[in-house]
Amino acid sequence: MNTLTQENQVSMDGSLQDDHNHDDGHHAPPSGIMRWLLTTNHKDIGTLYLWFSFIMFLTGGLMAMVIRAELFQPGLQLVDPNFFNQMTTVHGLVMVFGAVMPAFTGLANWMIPMMIGAPDMALPRMNNWSFWILPFAFIILLSSLFMEGGGPNFGWTFYAPLSTEYSPDSTALFVFSIHIMGISSIMGAINVIVTVINMRAPGMTWMKLPLFAWTWLITAFLLIAVMPVLAGAVTMVLTDKYFGTSFFEAAGGGDPVMFQHIFWFFGHPEVYIMILPSFGIMSAIIPTFSRKKLFGYSSMVYATASIAILSFLVWAHHMFTTGMPVFAELFFMYCTMLISVPTGVKIFNWVATMWKGSLTFETPMLFAISFLVLFTIGGFSGLMLAITPADFQYHDTYFVVAHFHYVLVTGAIFTIMAAVYYWIPKWTGHMYNERLGKLHFWCSVISVNILFFPMHFLGLAGMPRRIPDYAIQFADVNQIVSIGGFAFGLSQLIFLVVVIKCIRGGEKAPAKPWEGAEGLEWEIPSPAPYHSFTTPPVIK
Amino acid sequence: MKQLWCGALALLMTPAILATEMPLNMTEGVTDISSRVYHLHMTILYICCAIGLVVFGIMFYSMIYHRKSKGAVAANFHESTKVEILWTIIPFVILIGMAIPATTTLIAMEDTNDAALTIKVTGSQWKWHYSYFDQGVEFYSLLSTPRDQIEGDAPKGEYYLLEVDRPLVVPIGRKVRFLVTSDDVIHSWWVPAFAIKKDANPGFINETWTHIDKPGIYRGQCAELCGKDHGFMPIVVEALPEAEFEAWLASQQQQASLDVLEAEASLAVTLEIEELMLQGEQVYLTYCAACHQPNGMGLPGAFPAMKDSPIVTGDISAHLEMVINGKPGTAMQAFNKQLTPQEIAAVVTYERNAWGNDTGDIIQAIDVNQHGQ
Ligand code: HEM
Ligand SMILES: [Cu+2]
Ligand SMILES: [Cu+2]
């Protein structure tokens, strides 16, 4: 990747700026709200996705605050148990489908065309659709909370028959909103695949493709493979509840455990959907701030691919307590343990990239390093959960809650924040405020550990997840966890301030604000012009 | 500077965690299996810590010594097939080391043969039912923590939320097999001290077993989200020495036959409305209030109100039918198994006359018995 050259003079001399003006003259974007409603520009759509994701992050965060406030003390204080269940369910759904996934799609929209030297995404009109149906999905989901009987209260995993015979009347809305989210994800994924396969600049061979594009490409295939499975699951829930089928009802010849197989056949690849793009981001940031080439580029690609393939063979590790035959338990245990090998390779490669580099610690790098440590901790607890006999003790306790927040919050969310700090100079043309960025980092990383680390202890001591009230012995630790939760929630407001300040102004960013950065995106001016790479660069 | 502040804050939290009375680790439990699981857990934990120490150690070394501010100049290497093969193979070998003890433990855990006693465990919203095979003993086990402790109107007891009206009683020193199932949604029967967690799936039966070494009282909770009161269906197991267990079982069998006689006798008794209302309120608060609420108002959209309900204020036999046989496919379960005719008579009378329903109807045990004949 260090042999990139620009044939078409896209760099500081502004020739691309000319292009941009020229284009504008013919079809200038409409102004005001219509610009955003009708836009087919990958940068606009990327921005929309990212803001939407941030709003959802705050919404889901608010629900987490309700959960942690109720759990601050033993006893029922603030909310009744039914509403508590709605909060955990909708918190999970909003964070997974509203915060993490759209953030990655937003980053893909902004960065993939600029990274591979393409003028836009391959299917710009579909791109508009895939974003604009999302807000409606979440309006439907969130408004169901205000219906009589309440919103979804059966956990984000919506196990039948709790989600069928025993669910609130609003379940149809839940099903409908999941369908819309799924359609949106699939359209986003198709767009990434077509773009990466067809629109790479001449000379950008597969093994020169930036890892963010690689990991997203593989993620997109995972999405296309499993979102239809999720759609099938919710549809069966819908017909079981409203149309008298019995897919999941033993009395009618169905099987409630089959629901879990279907759900987790989607669900496990889904967790990799939420982490593979992170790996791509890490593989961009760590080399930049180490001023050294990424160690083991090709093994990174192979490791990503093998993780993706293995992710289809491990779904039932979420179901060890459902009473599977021993040989099935063994099979899923071994496969799950196997996944830690390629994951380990990635971690080692990143550490080797830092080794003998020339390191500096700007905010993106700080988030990347904390990812490296904290995601690995999440990986360790994941390995522990893979050990079936031990999983019988950990399953459905706060140990699991700790595990998946380490991989989702300090994994996915931290790299998304790292990515924003890393690329925001390119988006806005301004440097963010480094002091505030560091403040945001330190507040986040300390509070997130006060929030999630003690959850391991709670789980080991025997506190089940998804409960609104608990035994006296868990009181002290829950209090600490809640304090960490409020602190983490507040810290994210600093992030909002940094981003807004950076959009409004700040030190002018050069085309390549990071000394060690590599890649096509740094060869166009900052802020990136509305249309970039209208003629493809040639890569030697 | 702010790093120092934040670090200090984090350190402040550490003593708070260490000061708690809660165990900070998995406990060893009281069975051979649970102790094997505990040691497996510790082994893997130590292995993870060791790997973490090495990887993070190298990373932090690099962060300290290879920083630009110290004049570090980046080296130029970016691959090494040898190293990469090495760090693929080493983890693989470590994993095999973990998989072997995990496999043997798992196989031992799943061997339910040769049990001396079999108990059927049935979950339903939100209580457990225990039935001793071939012994003629069965009963429900419900949370016994009073409402006012939960709502904060009374100080919380030592076993807050981990106490039941009738614990499951098992013998020590014998292999006890559990058949786990459910009447409605999925629950999960979890007793950490035995390292047993088994899902209760409606319409299917799961098997598990234990062999307890130490007499004592062991507590657990439902571990699968099962609706509103998932957090309020604890499990309490009392493990007794063999002889005491036999004595307990015999007394239960005797009690069971007495209960049958008593129920028959109650059919001949006619109670005054005051008495029925008093008993009915008790039954209602224990068995019905979780869903229909103590004030009879239900939860709109989930559980219907009893106050002014067309069934409660309408035809008596429809009301009886609802309580005795429940309504299949809904959370309204059949109560004929859980309540005696006397109790059903009382609760139905109570519902028909409380909260301003004032139908004036009085139902006797004999009416309940005759319903459906
Ligand atoms: C803002 C900080 C956050 C806090 C304080 C927080 C807190 C919690 C808590 C306490 C639970 C457990 C509820 C229970 O079992 O009773 C929970 C569940 C969950 N959280 Fe978070 N969380 C946060 C951020 C996130 C993020 C960023 C994600 C995803 C990317 C996420 C995904 C989930 C999921 C999937 C569940 C499981 C929901 C379920 O049980 O159905 N959380 N969260
Ligand atoms: Cu999984
Ligand atoms: Cu439960």
Give the per-residue pLDDT at B173.
93
Residue A389 and residue B106: Cβ atoms within 8 Å?
Answer: yes
Residues B123 and B243 in one domain: yes
Of the candidates A442, A472, A473, the beta carbon closest to that of B3 is on A442
Residues B248 and B278 in one domain: no
Q: Find the residue in A nearest to B298 (Cα).
A: A149
Q: Does B46 touch chain A if contact means CB atoms closer than 8 Å?
A: no
Residues B251 and B275 in one domain: no
Give the minimum alpha-carbon distance from A25 to chain B in angstroms, rounded to a whole number: 46
Distance CA A421, CA A110 (A): 14
* Contacting B residues, span 333-362, partner chain A, CB-CB under 8 Å: none
Q: In DSSP terms, which residues pair with B320 in a beta bridge?
A: none
Give the minimum alpha-carbon distance from B96 to chain A in angstroms, rounded to a whole number: 9
Of the candidates B19, B66, B220, the beta carbon closest to that of A354 is on B66
Distance CA A358, CA A289 (A): 8
Q: Find the residue in A nearest to B300 (Cα).
A: A149
Q: Does the annotation mark A268 as catalytic? A: yes
Q: Are B277 and B353 in contact (CB under 8 A)?
A: yes
Residues B287 and B167 in one domain: no
Q: Does the annotation mark A395 as catalytic? A: no
pLDDT digits (tens, 9 = 90+) for A446-470: 999 999 999 999 999 999 999 999 9
Half-sphere exposure (Cβ direction) of A478: Cα atoms closer than 13 Å: 25
Q: Tell me, using a 6 A CB cutoff, whether residue A485 lines ligand 1.
A: yes
Q: Tell me, using a 6 A CB cutoff, whether residue A271 lines ligand 1.
A: no
Q: Are B320 and B344 in contact (CB under 8 A)?
A: yes
For a mutational test of ligand 1's pocket, the pick from A79, A95, A413, i.e. the residue with the most ligand atoms closer than 8 A to its C-beta, is A95
DSSP A145: G
Count of other CB atoms within 10 angstroms of residue A143: 13
B73 found inside a domain: no
Lookup: tokens for B1? 């500077």
pLDDT digits (tens, 9 = 90+) for A210-226: 999 999 999 999 999 99
Residue B10 and residue A446: Cβ atoms within 8 Å?
Answer: yes
Residues B250 and B132 in one domain: yes
B326 found inside a domain: yes
Of the candidates B156, B199, B229, the beta carbon closest to that of A472 is on B156
User: Would you say the C-alpha torsion A522, A525, A529, A534 has a positive or negative sign?
Assistant: negative
Contact list in B for residue A345 (CB cut-off 8 A) is 84, 87-88
Residues B256 and B274 in one domain: no
Q: Which of A465, A373, A355, A459 is nearest to A410 (CA)?
A: A373
B72 found inside a domain: no
Residues B174 and B291 in one domain: no
* pLDDT surpasses 80 at A17: no
Determine the average pLDDT of the residues in B237-265. Answer: 92
Q: Which of B66, B76, B164 is nearest to A358 (CA)?
A: B66
Q: Does the annotation mark A272 as catalytic? A: yes
Mention every residue, 6+ apart, whose C-beta is less than 8 A from residue B2: A438, A439, A442
From atom 36 of ligand 1, which residue's Cα is the shortest distance away? A92
Choosing from A20, A43, A91, A405, the catalytic residue is A91
Size of chain B in residues = 373
Distance CA A293, CA A297 (A): 9
Q: Does B60 touch chain A if contact means CB atoms closer than 8 Å?
A: no
Of the candidates A168, A372, A472, the beta carbon closest to that of B302 is on A168
In angstroms, how far apart are the furthest CA atoms of chain A?
73
The 3-state secondary structure of A175-232 reads HHHHHHHHHHHHHHHHHHHHHHHHCCCCCCCHHHCCHHHHHHHHHHHHHHHHHHHHHH
CA distances (Å), origin A401, targets B80, B190, B218: 38, 17, 24
Determine the average pLDDT of the residues in A42-50. Answer: 96
Residues B9 and B96 in one domain: yes
Residue B92's domain comprises 2-65+78-109
Residues B90 and B191 in one domain: no
Lookup: tokens for B123? 């979950």
SS3 content of chain A, % helix, strand, coil (to 5): 70, 0, 30
Q: Are A418 and A459 in contact (CB under 8 A)?
A: no
The answer to whether the pTM exceeds 0.80 is: yes
| Contacts of the segment A174-177: beta carbons below 8 A, 24+ positions apart | A174/A141, A174/A144, A174/A234, A175/A234, A175/A235, A175/A237, A175/A238, A176/A140, A177/A137, A177/A138, A177/A140, A177/A141, A177/A144
Strands laid side by side in the B175-182 sheet: B137-141, B127-132, B117-124, B175-182, B206-211
Give the per-residue pLDDT at B13.
65
* pLDDT surpasses 70 at B208: yes
pLDDT digits (tens, 9 = 90+) for B298-317: 888 888 999 889 999 988 98
Helix, strand, or coil (residue A452)? helix
User: Would you say the C-alpha torsion A431, A437, A438, A441 has a positive or negative sign?
Assistant: negative
Q: Does A184 touch chain B if contact means CB atoms closer than 8 Å?
A: no
Q: Tell me, using a 6 A CB cutoff, whether residue A403 lines ligand 1.
A: no
C-alpha dihedral, B284 to B289 to B290 to B292, nearest 10°:
120
* Angle at which helices A171-198 and A101-116 cross, to 10°: 10
Give the per-residue pLDDT at B273.
87
CA distances (Å), origin A197, targets A102, A118, A309: 21, 11, 20
Q: What is the CATH number of the domain that holds B355?
A: 1.10.760.10
Residues B223 and B144 in one domain: yes
Residues B194 and B326 in one domain: no
Q: Which atom of ligand 1 is nearest to the CA of A61?
A: 1
Q: Which atom of ligand 1 is nearest to the CA of A489?
A: 1
Question: In degrees rounded to 5, what are phi and psi of residue B132?
Answer: -85, 120
User: Would you say the C-alpha torsion B278, B291, A71, B195 has a positive or negative sign?
Assistant: positive
**Radius of gyration, alpha carbons of chain A:** 23
Q: Which among B205, B236, B262 is the end of a domain?
A: B262
B70 found inside a domain: no
Q: Does the annotation mark A346 as catalytic? A: yes
Lookup: tokens for B367? 């009416």
Amino acid at B149: Q
Distance CA B253, CA B277 (A): 30
Contact list in A for residue B63 (CB cut-off 8 A) is 354, 359, 361, 369
Q: Which among B211, B243, B262 is the end of a domain?
A: B262
pLDDT digits (tens, 9 = 90+) for A150-195: 999 999 999 999 999 999 999 999 999 999 999 999 999 999 999 9
Mutate to test the interface with A, among B2, B21, B79, B100 (most CBs of A within 10 A): B79
CA–centroid distance, residue A351 to ligand 3 (Å): 43
* pLDDT surpasses 80 at B345: yes
Q: Which among B52, B87, B109 is the end of a domain?
A: B109
Mention every residue, 6+ apart, whose C-beta is less than 8 A from residue B157: B145, B149, B163
Q: Tell me, using a 6 A CB cutoff, whether residue A94 lines ligand 1.
A: no
User: Would you say the C-alpha torsion A498, A500, A506, A510 has a positive or negative sign?
Assistant: positive
Q: What is the CATH number of the domain that holds B227?
A: 2.60.40.420
Of the candidates B74, B201, B224, the beta carbon closest to that of A396 is on B224
* Contacting A residues, span 308-337, partner chain B, CB-CB under 8 Å: 321-323, 326, 329-330, 333-334, 337
* Contacting B residues, span 222-281, partner chain A, CB-CB under 8 Å: 222-232
- DSSP states along A68-127: HHHTTSSS--SS-HHHHHHHHHHHHHIIIIIIIHHHHHHHHHHHHHHHHT-SS-S-HHHH
* Contacting B residues, span 186-225, partner chain A, CB-CB under 8 Å: 186, 188, 190, 192, 195-199, 201-204, 206-207, 220-225
Choosing from A20, A68, A241, A268, the catalytic residue is A268
Half-sphere exposure (Cβ direction) of B118: Cα atoms closer than 13 Å: 12
Q: What is the mean pLDDT of chain B?
A: 90
Give the per-residue pLDDT at B243.
94
* Contacting A residues, span 397-426, partner chain B, CB-CB under 8 Å: 397
Distance CA A41, CA A128 (A): 8
Greater confidence (A396 vs A16) lies with A396
B219 found inside a domain: yes
B295 found inside a domain: yes
* pLDDT surpasses 50 at A535: yes
DSSP H or E stretch at residue B203:
none
CA–centroid distance, residue A88 to ligand 1 (Å): 7
Residues B91 and B148 in one domain: no
Cα B71–Cα B75–Cα B80 angle in degrees, nearest 5: 155
Give chain B's domain count: 3
Distance CA B352, CA B311 (A): 9
Count of other CB atoms within 10 angstroms of residue A362: 21
Which of A13-27, A167-181, B83-97, B170-184 has the weakest average pLDDT?
Answer: A13-27
Q: How far apart are the first and last CA of chain A?
A: 9
The 3-state secondary structure of B87-134 reads HHHHHHHHHHHHHHHHHHHHHHHCCCCCCCEEEEEEEECCEEEEEECC
pLDDT digits (tens, 9 = 90+) for A469-516: 999 999 999 999 999 999 999 999 999 999 999 999 889 999 999 999
Distance CA B235, CA B219 (A): 6
Give the per-residue pLDDT at B290.
87
Lookup: tokens for A202? 């001449």
Q: Are A81 and A390 in contact (CB under 8 A)?
A: no
